Structure 1
């Protein structure tokens, strides 16, 4: 007989919402390792102690935000709509079955009141918890950056003209010749001053991660990931135009402060292969596993034929003539030869460009470190190759996970500070996932060892053979 159910489902519920949520739910697992007992004291100075309406409990507000990022629901409106029908979110945030939820605008005001630096402290707390649990060792750190699409439409992009820049920032003494030069640049091919900018989110800048892709308004996140379990040790968000190499040392120093010691090895891709990077890491006693770029050959006499003598701070040209340092640039110096030496040189036609009387070569401040990195890349060991392979799936894997499952593929709100808050909450949610998985795994190991030992004893009783019992480490790896 075909079963039927009536339209009415009136039931009386008595008990805890926790009884209705599976034990393997991500919010249940994270709740076991989440400790926010310190949060009220950390934000107490932002609230009036004896005046005004009682606000939302800080722990409840933060739990709502973390639940959204753990489940990939990053928009406040959608999060509150989901929380009204999702028992797991209600229980995780501490709201009862019939208790009213706050308005979505309350979360916006709380973020604005707390500020990005307090969310950085929340993220740092997750790093400390992972370090105390032994899953953030800090021996090998992977550094990488990724672009995050800004929350703007293509119609909001405008063009920045040179005359608009001059109108907003006029020079102290107007120079007609300089103004004519800027006008000529605008009409010519030099379009650096006139590329598109975002009018609705001025902190975002046009950037791309490949030459065959169009520029998009983006932010850039710089991340340091631990090698052991993929814990995020440190991150920072900048505009999309920021150079990756300018932020690696800062991320390494910040990760060092959180883990309490200097990493033994730092890995990165070729986007960080600069002499200043190799030199800074070597001075900190860190082994850089960064594949050096091959020197481009764009002239008949390439730069690699000019030898730098670090002991005497001189450069020798292919004919043995000396180039001495004179003018300094941002990360290096210009070395110039004498015009008399170049006048008698047989390679003058191939070495010098038209109109020049002597040779000028730029040498970076840490050029010897760059040369050592190039020599090392030519004879990378298998361990170096494996470590660089781990860098690719550790750092890029984190960015892929954050974008695919936790809403980091696009900025939720506009402005650099809002983007930083989003990045800190995403990294904190992922660290809590790592911590919960590690602690849950440690609880499974004893049960695995007991079952394994029981099976071995049973086989010995049945067959009469003596079998070697598995070690707990084996069970841990199998689990």
Structure 2
């Protein structure tokens, strides 16, 4: 016969915990086993008055609410608090009972503004250190990559920057009016460049030449090779160059990991001489494919030989190019003498019609770039395997985050808010990695105990578990392992 369900639910009052109603395999239940925020109240105590005003939201409850939103893909505060009204798992995870009133969504905004991005960075760094203590990250091999995040603005908020004056803000006339005019009329830096009125920190950028420019931020991430733990993350404006940030990100990642990094992989977007030079100084092996040299002349730069010992450049006809006093930000000019090029049989190909001497630009750390090109030609199976892992480790993190945790589009505006979003997203991903590893260890213990191989807390596996995992995180579960039948 057809069953009938009584929807009156008169037996509303029951005795028990909300935890009993949350499935054990729920992501919040699994993350709760590895999340430790006992240090947070002391860390933010200086931001609150000891005896003045009404009690605020508990710091642990606020962070747990934010993390629950990112773990479940509910990244907007209004929607999160609306969902928490009826979602027992979120209520239990944040520590709110059925009879307790949830905070207003604006309270989370004020907490972010009061704490600042650096305190959320410390929350993220704590998850990294927990993963290191659990053996999920070693820092020996890391993968570096960046991804664009669409700003939370409309197309109607874009405006074209208008440049009319030939003088700068101080009224000074530029030394080279013709060059200054070219800069002001450039589509990237001049009068045709679009700027965002509602979110000035967002800048126009694109991920491909066949795609249009959009107001974006750029998220830089460093992922450990062992289990995909995110060891460093930072956000910049969309037009920031990846090569300018790789060294800073690796330095910060090494400080968080507590040890040196041995190998770093990245795509060709990071193949700059300054990046290779900085990696050599840090004794980090670079698995980065070098870019093909752009050929803008019939006699390209690769035909010129740079001698770093004597600081000279030789042209294909063995004429000497000496450094010029005028310097540029990324390198130096080397120029020939007029009489050297006057009788050269390559002058028709090498020189432009308006010049009598040949000038080339040698970028800083150019020898490191040449060494990287030679190493690229000698890549073996090990290097190719690491570069293949880079594609699904680092790019996989950005794909996972954008698909499940919200960074496909910015939630809020401003660089500071974007940094907080990136830190919470990376912390949520790391907690998932930590919870999955702990569950695997626990299942292995249960399987061994059923076979009669493991009963006492002094067994080898239990000692391994206590040694490899942070005691403050796994202490409640580690105590109960010895009593598992």
TM-score, with structure 2 as normaliser = 0.89
Q: For residue 330 of structure 1, what is the aligned residue in structure 2?
A: 329
Matches within 5 A, 1:124-163: 124-163=125-164
Q: For residue 273 of structure 2, what is the aligned residue in structure 1?
A: 275
Matches within 5 A, 1:388-427: 388-427=387-426
CA shift at 1:373, angstroms? Answer: 1.0
C-alpha spacing 1:273/1:188, structure 2 compared with 1 (3 Å): closer
C-alpha spacing 1:197/1:40, structure 2 compared with 1 (3 Å): same
Q: Does the aligned pair in 1 maintain the 2:124–2:424 contact within 8 Å?
A: yes
C-alpha spacing 1:163/1:298, structure 2 compared with 1 (3 Å): closer
CA distance in 2, matches of 1:141, 1:247: 15
C-alpha spacing 1:426/1:387, structure 2 compared with 1 (3 Å): same
1:68-122 CA-to-partner distances (Å, cap 9, x unmatched) read: 0000000000000110100000000000012110111110111111011111111
2:399 corresponds to 1:378: no
CA shift at 1:235, angstroms? Answer: 1.2
CA shift at 1:163, angstroms? Answer: 2.9
Q: For residue 342 of structure 1, what is the aligned residue in structure 2?
A: 341
Number of equivalent positions: 452
Q: For residue 358 of structure 2, what is the aligned residue in structure 1?
A: 359
CA shift at 1:54, angstroms? Answer: 0.6
Aligned to 1:410, the other structure's residue is in SS state coil
1:200-223 CA-to-partner distances (Å, cap 9, x unmatched) read: 001100000100000000000111
User: Which blocks of at least 5 consecutive residues in structure 2 are unaligned?
Assistant: 454-463, 465-485
CA shift at 1:372, angstroms? Answer: 1.2
Q: For residue 457 of structure 2, what is the aligned residue in structure 1?
A: none
Q: For residue 171 of structure 2, what is the aligned residue in structure 1?
A: 172
Q: Does the aligned pair in 2 maintain the 1:161–1:186 contact within 8 Å?
A: no
C-alpha spacing 1:175/1:424, structure 2 compared with 1 (3 Å): closer
CA shift at 1:133, angstroms? Answer: 0.9
Aligned to 1:10, the other structure's residue is in SS state coil
CA shift at 1:6, angstroms? Answer: 3.1
CA distance in 2, matches of 1:68, 1:446: 32
Q: Does the aligned pair in 1 maintain the 2:254–2:260 contact within 8 Å?
A: yes
Q: For residue 64 of structure 2, what is the aligned residue in structure 1?
A: 63
1:434-467 CA-to-partner distances (Å, cap 9, x unmatched) read: 111111111222334456799xxxxxxxxxxxxx
Is 324-333 or 14-23 further displaced after alignment?
Answer: 324-333
Is 73-82 or 374-383 further displaced after alignment?
Answer: 374-383
Aligned to 2:334, the other structure's residue is in SS state strand
CA shift at 1:262, angstroms? Answer: 1.3
CA distance in 1, matches of 2:282, 2:179: 46
CA shift at 1:136, angstroms? Answer: 1.3
Is 68-77 or 180-189 further displaced after alignment?
Answer: 180-189
Q: Does the aligned pair in 2 maintain the 1:137–1:228 contact within 8 Å?
A: yes
Matches within 5 A, 1:59-458: 59-163=60-164, 170-173=169-172, 192-326=190-324, 327-449=326-448
Aligned to 1:163, the other structure's residue is in SS state coil
Q: Does the aligned pair in 1 maintain the 2:166–2:181 contact within 8 Å?
A: no
C-alpha spacing 1:380/1:340, structure 2 compared with 1 (3 Å): same
CA distance in 2, matches of 1:314, 1:82: 68
2:39 corresponds to 1:38: yes
CA distance in 1, matches of 2:427, 2:164: 45
Aligned-pair RMSD on alpha carbons?
2.2
Q: Does the aligned pair in 1 maintain the 2:128–2:229 contact within 8 Å?
A: yes
CA distance in 2, matches of 1:85, 1:382: 53
CA shift at 1:10, angstroms? Answer: 1.8
C-alpha spacing 1:203/1:85, structure 2 compared with 1 (3 Å): same
CA distance in 2, matches of 1:341, 1:227: 53
1:231-257 CA-to-partner distances (Å, cap 9, x unmatched) read: 111111110011110000000000011
CA distance in 1, matches of 2:87, 2:195: 41
Q: For residue 30 of structure 2, what is the aligned residue in structure 1?
A: 29
Q: Does the aligned pair in 2 maintain the 1:294–1:374 contact within 8 Å?
A: no
Q: Does the aligned pair in 2 maintain the 1:162–1:183 contact within 8 Å?
A: no
Aligned to 2:143, the other structure's residue is in SS state strand
CA shift at 1:20, angstroms? Answer: 0.7
Aligned to 2:399, the other structure's residue is in SS state helix
Is 393-402 or 302-311 further displaced after alignment?
Answer: 302-311
Q: For residue 468 of structure 1, what is the aligned residue in structure 2?
A: none
CA distance in 2, matches of 1:176, 1:33: 61
CA distance in 2, matches of 1:165, 1:320: 43
Is 235-244 or 297-306 further displaced after alignment?
Answer: 297-306
CA shift at 1:355, angstroms? Answer: 1.4
CA distance in 2, matches of 1:91, 1:339: 80
